[in-house]
């Protein structure tokens, strides 16, 4: 089974067309299809052929109300704060989704405090093997570095991953780190960006 995870499209329909053209069994939009909620429906028109194979998270540029209504309108699946199982060669895998971001300087509509992030992650702790898809990266990794030596990820997410050790973590949010990989203990971490990351399970 092939899963294609992508993030931070921000209304770039050509980038979306390239995503749709790549064959996969499941596609996960890990937030920020839009910029401040604009152009969501235009993205939906490009993505519509994927139907329920597309799972949608809100980024910091969307509210959950917006992405939930969007998913319903176009026949996609709302993945925010949800858990879904996918079969693999070695048995069932657990996929958990969490949208929004930690607090930014930009006053975007989809932001969580660190305390809210901790509460949202708590239900995922016992899932094994866990594939975690979040919009925002853990702090202090290659995935959240927006300038040399400057990091903007979540310390709460970082501590949670260090403790729980999901098998994989996929994120976006920090455009400058798109395409980068890192590791936190046993957890393989990827900032998928708008080019996307394909995983075979």
Structural domain spans, the chain:
2-200
pLDDT band at 94 (very low <50, low <70, confident <90, very high): very high
pTM of the model: 0.98
pLDDT band at 7 (very low <50, low <70, confident <90, very high): very high
* pLDDT value, residue 50: 98
* pLDDT value, residue 70: 98
* pLDDT value, residue 98: 98
Per CATH, the homologous superfamily of domain 2-200 is Metallo-dependent phosphatases (3.60.21.10)
Mean pLDDT of 154-180: 98
What's the whole-number average pLDDT of the chain? 97
**Kind of pairing between the strands at 82-88 and 2-6:** unpaired
pLDDT band at 188 (very low <50, low <70, confident <90, very high): very high
* pLDDT value, residue 90: 85
């Amino acid at each position: 089974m092939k899963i294609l995870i992508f993030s931070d499209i921000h209304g770039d329909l050509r980038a979306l067309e390239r995503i749709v053209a790549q064959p996969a069994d499941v596609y996960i939009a890990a937030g920020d299809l839009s910029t401040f909620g604009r152009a969501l429906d235009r993205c939906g028109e490009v993505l519509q052929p994927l139907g329920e194979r597309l799972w949608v998270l809100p980024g910091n540029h969307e509210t959950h109300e917006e992405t939930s209504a969007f998913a319903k309108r176009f026949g996609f699946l709302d993945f925010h704060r949800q858990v879904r199982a996918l079969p693999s060669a070695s048995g069932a895998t657990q996929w958990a989704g969490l949208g929004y971001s930690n607090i930014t300087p930009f006053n975007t509509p989809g932001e969580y405090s660190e305390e809210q992030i901790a509460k949202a992650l708590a239900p995922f702790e016992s899932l094994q093997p866990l594939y975690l898809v979040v919009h925002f990266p853990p702090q202090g990794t290659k995935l959240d570095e927006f300038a040399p030596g400057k990091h903007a990820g979540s310390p709460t997410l970082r501590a949670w991953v260090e403790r729980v050790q999901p098998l994989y973590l996929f994120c976006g949010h920090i455009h400058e780190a798109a395409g980068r990989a890192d590791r936190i203990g046993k957890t393989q971490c990827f900032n998928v960006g708008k080019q996307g990351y394909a995983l075979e399970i």
